[in-house]
Amino acid sequence: MKRFATCVATAALLSAPLAHAANNDINLTGVAQAAFKAFSEDMSSALSYKAVIPAEPLGITGFDIGLEVTSTKMSNADDWQSAVAGGDSIDTLYVPKLHAHKGLPFDIDVGVLYTSIPSTNIKLVGGELRYAFISGNVAIPAVAVRGTYTKLSGIDNLDFGTKGLELSVSKGFAILTPYAGVGRVWTTSDPSASLPLLTKVEVEQTKYYVGANINFGLMNLALEGDKTGDSSSYAFKLGLRF
């Protein structure tokens, strides 16, 4: 419990700048179609599912629970000005998340995430189903396929969600497990009828990522770099893995 409290405190410190930021609620009224498309591409890069976990299965009794902060450099920061209340551009979007993964039989894992980004109206839930068709051992790496999903809420005039398919590989060396992956993300960004000047945008992006998981007994640290579309993200996750 003491270790988990340390994780919570660290994540709170990492996301502290968000709590004191200006109001960055998303309001798409008056946004042009070109800016909406660019905004949707950035949202796809920032809010598509990022597991921040190696490919190796957790096992039937295994859990991985953590608090994560991801920073995504916006490729179209100027286009956010028309979408954000107050007209602020957003160069980097910081997304704090709560992750939970559970191992199942047959080298299958499931995972869920939740975020509510401070000083914005962005809320997000997501999930994954992962199958390690090569579970890995001391001699060979683990290889897994992952299906992902996220759904946005909080923005009244936008229906936004992502789906993804990934292939990942990892190999453990004592307490260190490097991993990498490649995948595809499909995003639907559909404005409501209250925005008659905007039409639905569908985005398809390739993603690449590399990371490292470091396990200190129960306490676990994961670091990941991700490139989805034209935007880069960096994640830090601290939690428990057993």
CATH code of the domain containing 210:
2.40.128
Beta-carbon neighbour count of residue 211 at 10 Å?
24
Q: Is the pLDDT of residue 18 over 60?
A: no
3 state DSSP class of 36: helix
Is pLDDT above 70 for 86? no
Q: What's the confidence (pLDDT) of residue 26?
A: 86
Number of domains in the chain: 1
User: What are the distances in angstroms from CA 155 to CA 27, 33, 85?
Assistant: 7, 17, 12
Asked if 160 contacts 142 with a C-beta cutoff of 8 angstroms, the reply is no
**Structural domain for 146, as ranges:** 2-241
Mean pLDDT of the chain: 89
Which residues pair with residue 130 across a beta bridge? 109, 146
Mean pLDDT score, 45-50:
96
Name the more confident of 28 and 63.
Answer: 63
Res 13 pLDDT > 50? no
